[in-house]
Structure 1
Amino acid sequence: MTEFFDRHQALLQDARKALTARGFWAPFAEIPSESVYGAGSRAAGQAAFDALKGQPFALPGHPEQRRVGAEESPFGGALDITYPAADPAALIAAAQGSAQALADATPKARVGALIEALVRLNRHSFLIAHATQHTTGQGFAMAFQAGGPHAQDRALEAVALAWDEMTRFPDHAIWEKPQGKAAPLRLDKHWTLVPAGVALTIGCNTFPTWNGYPGIFASLATGNPVIVKPHPRAILPLALTVRILREVFAEAGLPADAILLAADTAEAPMTQALATDPAVRIIDYTGGTAFGDWLRANARQARLFTEEAGVNTVTILGAPDFTGMCDNLAFSLALYSGQMCTAPQTILVPEGGIDSDLGHKTPDQVGQGLAHALDRLLEDPARAVGVLGAVANPATVARMEALRQGARVIRDGRPMLLAAGADDAVAQGECFGPVAFLVTCADAEAALDRATALARDRGAITAALYDTDEERIARAIPAFARAGVNLSINLTGAIYVNQSAAFSDFHVTGANPAGNACLTDTAFVAPRFTRAMWRRQVA
């Protein structure tokens, strides 16, 4: 069935062009406006979310042995939604039962259905925004963008790249080798795309769709059934996704059980059992390094794609626009209370200070500049709520309280800015949440060395550099590249180190301990299938 493919072929072609051009392209509108999403769409999304609370979540035909669900909104109140749950063996059996039909479907059938699902998900962006806000603690605007259109962009990016990889070579060719005066040798060759097997997506609490969609959609596009294992605190956004995918697959003649929800609880987790099942051949994981290490040690049968912990640095060696720099960094530090994998954490400054457009600044003055910028940004409570959102996990609050004890506090509150020495261990590992460290280094070169070493040895997804010395910037660029981290230089205004744009930015390089996979490059998609050939001699 190619009806969906034919309907969305133009969108697919635009996505493929955007992948090559790497400029700005956003197929799904990021503004939560009824002028874009239709009159009444905002109220309809709120009503749909309210209707889900306190009810069993429906997934027709899904394996079900019991009901689970204990999500609490970080803004207060239990969602009281229960989800169908089944033992790992039942989920694996259902996924395997769908595998052949999904593999036998043409790339057009799979890709067309996936794009149709994305279009439908986009129509439900207000609903998904509420689901994301009240499971992750993001402010509504961020929840709408990151949970909806930006996640959908990332999914389409993965689907378009998968299409290119699956269609890069022909599926049939006549091979003819000249034999001089004798008749040429002729072979009729055919290639079949063979999916790797069952895929497991292990979701995170903070960005369940944005981080989860690339793996889910890449695996489905290449013919692999997917079991989606959400974080127990953030099931709803992915449950809505699974429901829409199952509906579209059924309409497209594809097996609905090619996409399954593995809802569980913190008290009775099933991730380890799923991850080590021999049928699971692909694992997409976003989370801490400790469980990443466990997966590497125990899930050896699967190809593992990870995004893990890192230490994102800001190296301040000079400031062409001191106020603009402070304001820009303040927003980056405050956004979603620092609970972004791209949020800066460790700010490195030479102990001799920096030159700026406002004169020479000591490290203390740099710290005060950042503190004042945070105060300006967050002085309006209504704006502060939208920027900061809520802390998703109580353990993050406890960690902040422990850090405050005995530290030199530059700015208290959320986010908290602490002073640290170059050798202080606390600033050399990820400290997830609304806390940053101002670290003094011997000089500019020592600061650069520390930033690149942290990326190389501890991992980093982003790095920022502020400097007025162009020769030093030119030396720093390849040093950060060798450390495997993406670098932003002298950002001011409304573009931030936290931001990663689909179809342009490669999110995570895969070249340092913060993750072994990139969202999204060919290495993220191509290992999810192989090509098998059969050939026959012809006259």
Structure 2
Amino acid sequence: VAVATAKAAAAAWRSASPDTRAGVAAEILARLNAASFEIAHAVQHTTGQPFMMAFQAGGPHAQDRGLEAVAYAWAEQKRHPGAARWSKPQRKGGPLVMDKTYTPVGRGVSVLIACNTFPTWNGYPGLFASLVTGNPVIVKPHRKAVLPLAITVRVAREVLAEAGFDPDVVLLAASRADERPAPALATHPDVRIVDFTGSKEFGDWLEDNARQAVVHTEKAGLNTVVVDSTDDYAGLLRNLAFSLSLYSGQMCTTPQNILVPRDGFPTDQGPRTADEFAADLGAALDKLLGDPARAAATLGAIVNDGVLRRLDEATGLGRTAHPSKGITHPEFAEAVVRTPLVARLDAEADEKTFTSEWFGPVSFVIGTDSTTHSLRVLHDTVRRHGALTASVYAADEAALDAARATALEAGVHLSENLTGGVFVNQSAAFSDFHGTAANPAANAALTDPAFVTGRFSVLQSRRHAPTPAEESSRV
């Protein structure tokens, strides 16, 4: 029913110009911006994000990503002129002259399958890229995070109706806990575009089975940090501790594997072995999260029982360098809040453990033979299992050059020597790509031209141009 309804609403929207569609999308974003606090509370209480993150990432930052998709989609549709006159000289008589028009046309019904953790930040790029390229969109929210996208769909439908379009250009397909409509939606023969953020298993299934559609996926990966050396050890520890703690590690960009030469690396505070580094990182976590109110404002709450089960299982891995503990939320006493667990592993003995994804507040300090060994582990794990982020800490330019070359070969974005107020978890619209499509963690990047060009085709019509005499007679 949803697909048929969206398809019936498509004609007038498809016929509108890219300028008109971009204008409607911009108005939707402006009204979502005005509703940022409402959306923030909806995000907080459906995802467990701390309020400040729910406001920033769920509101203005998500809207930034939506606006970025609008800009890319509009620009790519304007790449070709709307009309052109073509001529070819002939040996006899006048030239051949043709009038040609070029019209960007959407592929068809688009389905957005959203995630539990970041329903708007991860959802808005696909929603607005499809809309501006002329496609109706069915929004399928995660069953535990319906409200933020329900508000979004309500606003979009109001704007569409006011602009004279059928509001069914945007539909909400919510489901009960016992329903699984996403596979049927994604593989419906009239669905031509699918956007998905979530598990590797379902993302792989979509790529294999939704053959009738252009499929954009962001899945999971083994985000990795390589530590070679540093001239700001305290800043490194502060930055990493916050990166591991932010939203209890329930971000697709949170570091999991921290590769450290087991026998030690140089710092401005003297050499540190892998064991000493793990202990120092645990101390930095305790300092950051010592005050319950501050800790809750950073950690938020655990999003679902699966994360808790994974965290419990991780207590038996390797040697625990920093145990996870529960914290009572000062505002919401029943919220489930946990600090990060850091386990000490070895690159040779524990490969099976750290080459699996442990989504949530679980990270590993992994001892390696050397930085060269660390970079080899980074390359091999990212190529095989994917990653959305990679980081390196190195005071030596040669080591940084080697890390850059490794990241380019592995197909992952790299952050270098983050010791201040920017963290590897963060991705800014109009500045940072999110995902690369160059490793298994995602087959698309937010946002580049490839993210939008598959959502429409440029169709042409052509006819013989009128002769000068015919043009004169018309005048």
Q: TM-score normalised to the size of structure 1?
A: 0.83
Whether 1:367 and 2:278 are equivalent positions in the alignment is yes
Q: Per-residue displacement from partner, 1:141-192 (whole Å, max 9, x unpaired)?
A: 0000000000000000000111101111111111011224520110011112
Partner of 2:335: none
Select the residue among 86, 90, 93 that pairs with 1:175.
Answer: 86
Q: Per-residue displacement from partner, 1:275-332 (whole Å, max 9, x unpaired)?
A: 1100101000001111112112221111100100100001111121111100000000
Partner of 2:327: none
Partner-residue secondary structure (3-state), 1:457: helix
Partner of 1:523: 450
% same residue: 53
Partner-residue secondary structure (3-state), 1:260: strand
Q: Once the 2 structures are TM-superposed, how far is the Cα of residue 532 of structure 1 from its aligned partner?
A: 1.1
Whether 1:416 and 2:341 are equivalent positions in the alignment is yes
Partner-residue secondary structure (3-state), 1:265: coil
Q: Once the 2 structures are TM-superposed, how far is the Cα of residue 407 of structure 1 from its aligned partner?
A: 3.3
Whether 1:513 and 2:412 are equivalent positions in the alignment is no
Q: Once the 2 structures are TM-superposed, how far is the Cα of residue 406 of structure 1 from its aligned partner?
A: 5.1
Task: Give the Cα–Cα distance (whole angstroms) in 2 for the partners of residues 319 and 345 of structure 1.
Answer: 20
Unaligned runs of 5+ in 2: 325-338, 468-475
Select the residue among 58, 64, 75 that pairs with 1:153.
Answer: 64
Q: Once the 2 structures are TM-superposed, how far is the Cα of residue 537 of structure 1 from its aligned partner?
A: 1.2
Partner of 1:338: 249
Whether 1:275 and 2:198 are equivalent positions in the alignment is no
One-letter amino acid of the counterpart of residue 158, structure 1: A
Select the residue among 454, 458, 461 that pairs with 2:381.
Answer: 454
Partner of 2:394: 467
Q: Once the 2 structures are TM-superposed, how far is the Cα of residue 500 of structure 1 from its aligned partner?
A: 0.4
Q: Work out whether residues 138 and 390 of structure 1, in 8 Å CA contact, stay in contact via their aligned partners in 2.
A: yes
Whether 1:537 and 2:448 are equivalent positions in the alignment is no
Deviates more, 1:297-306 or 1:328-337: 297-306
Q: Work out whether residues 323 and 369 of structure 1, in 8 Å CA contact, stay in contact via their aligned partners in 2.
A: no
Partner-residue secondary structure (3-state), 2:429: coil
Task: Give the Cα–Cα distance (whole angstroms) in 1 for the partners of residues 288 and 208 of structure 2.
Answer: 44
Partner of 1:434: 361
Partner-residue secondary structure (3-state), 2:234: helix
Q: Once the 2 structures are TM-superposed, how far is the Cα of residue 265 of structure 1 from its aligned partner?
A: 2.1
One-letter amino acid of the counterpart of residue 96, structure 1: K
Deviates more, 1:157-166 or 1:294-303: 294-303
Q: Once the 2 structures are TM-superposed, how far is the Cα of residue 266 of structure 1 from its aligned partner?
A: 2.8
Task: Give the Cα–Cα distance (whole angstroms) in 1 for the partners of residues 104 and 416 of structure 2.
Answer: 43
Select the residue among 220, 236, 240 that pairs with 1:309.
Answer: 220
Q: Work out whether residues 229 and 261 of structure 1, in 8 Å CA contact, stay in contact via their aligned partners in 2.
A: yes
Task: Give the Cα–Cα distance (whole angstroms) in 1 for the partners of residues 181 and 244 of structure 2.
Answer: 34
User: How do residues 384-399 of structure 1 correspond to structure 2 at under 5 angstroms?
Assistant: 384-399=295-310
Task: Give the Cα–Cα distance (whole angstroms) in 2 for the partners of residues 528 and 212 of structure 1.
Answer: 16
Q: Work out whether residues 226 and 374 of structure 2, in 8 Å CA contact, stay in contact via their aligned partners in 1.
A: yes
Task: Give the Cα–Cα distance (whole angstroms) in 2 for the partners of residues 304 and 359 of structure 1.
Answer: 50
Q: Once the 2 structures are TM-superposed, how far is the Cα of residue 228 of structure 1 from its aligned partner?
A: 0.4
User: How do residues 49-68 of structure 1 correspond to structure 2 at under 5 angstroms?
Assistant: none
Whether 1:123 and 2:48 are equivalent positions in the alignment is no
Q: Once the 2 structures are TM-superposed, how far is the Cα of residue 136 of structure 1 from its aligned partner?
A: 0.4
One-letter amino acid of the counterpart of residue 448, structure 1: L
Whether 1:233 and 2:144 are equivalent positions in the alignment is yes
Q: Per-residue displacement from partner, 1:254-273 (whole Å, max 9, x unpaired)?
A: 12001000100231111111
Q: Work out whether residues 262 and 275 of structure 2, in 8 Å CA contact, stay in contact via their aligned partners in 1.
A: no
Task: Give the Cα–Cα distance (whole angstroms) in 1 for the partners of residues 405 and 107 of structure 2.
Answer: 36
Task: Give the Cα–Cα distance (whole angstroms) in 2 for the partners of residues 317 and 406 of structure 1.
Answer: 24
One-letter amino acid of the counterpart of residue 483, structure 1: A
Task: Give the Cα–Cα distance (whole angstroms) in 1 for the partners of residues 62 and 317 of structure 2.
Answer: 40
Q: Once the 2 structures are TM-superposed, how far is the Cα of residue 510 of structure 1 from its aligned partner?
A: 0.9
Deviates more, 1:425-434 or 1:124-133: 425-434
**How many correspondences in the alignment?**
450
Q: Work out whether residues 219 and 528 of structure 1, in 8 Å CA contact, stay in contact via their aligned partners in 2.
A: yes
Q: Per-residue displacement from partner, 1:345-364 (whole Å, max 9, x unpaired)?
A: 10001122100000010111
Partner of 2:108: 197
Whether 1:400 and 2:311 are equivalent positions in the alignment is yes
User: How do residues 26-37 of structure 1 correspond to structure 2 at under 5 angstroms?
Assistant: none
Select the residue among 51, 73, 86 that pairs with 1:140.
Answer: 51
Partner of 2:133: 222
Partner of 1:61: none
Task: Give the Cα–Cα distance (whole angstroms) in 2 for the partners of residues 143 and 517 of structure 1.
Answer: 24
Structure 1 ranges of 4+ moved more than 2 A: none
Select the residue among 143, 146, 154 that pairs with 1:243.
Answer: 154
Task: Give the Cα–Cα distance (whole angstroms) in 1 for the partners of residues 138 and 244 of structure 2.
Answer: 34
Unaligned runs of 5+ in 1: 1-89
Task: Give the Cα–Cα distance (whole angstroms) in 1 for the partners of residues 435 and 148 of structure 2.
Answer: 23
Partner of 1:56: none
Partner-residue secondary structure (3-state), 2:239: helix
Q: Work out whether residues 105 and 254 of structure 1, in 8 Å CA contact, stay in contact via their aligned partners in 2.
A: no
CA RMSD of aligned residues (A): 0.9
Partner of 1:14: none
Task: Give the Cα–Cα distance (whole angstroms) in 2 for the partners of residues 208 and 249 of structure 1.
Answer: 22
Partner of 1:5: none
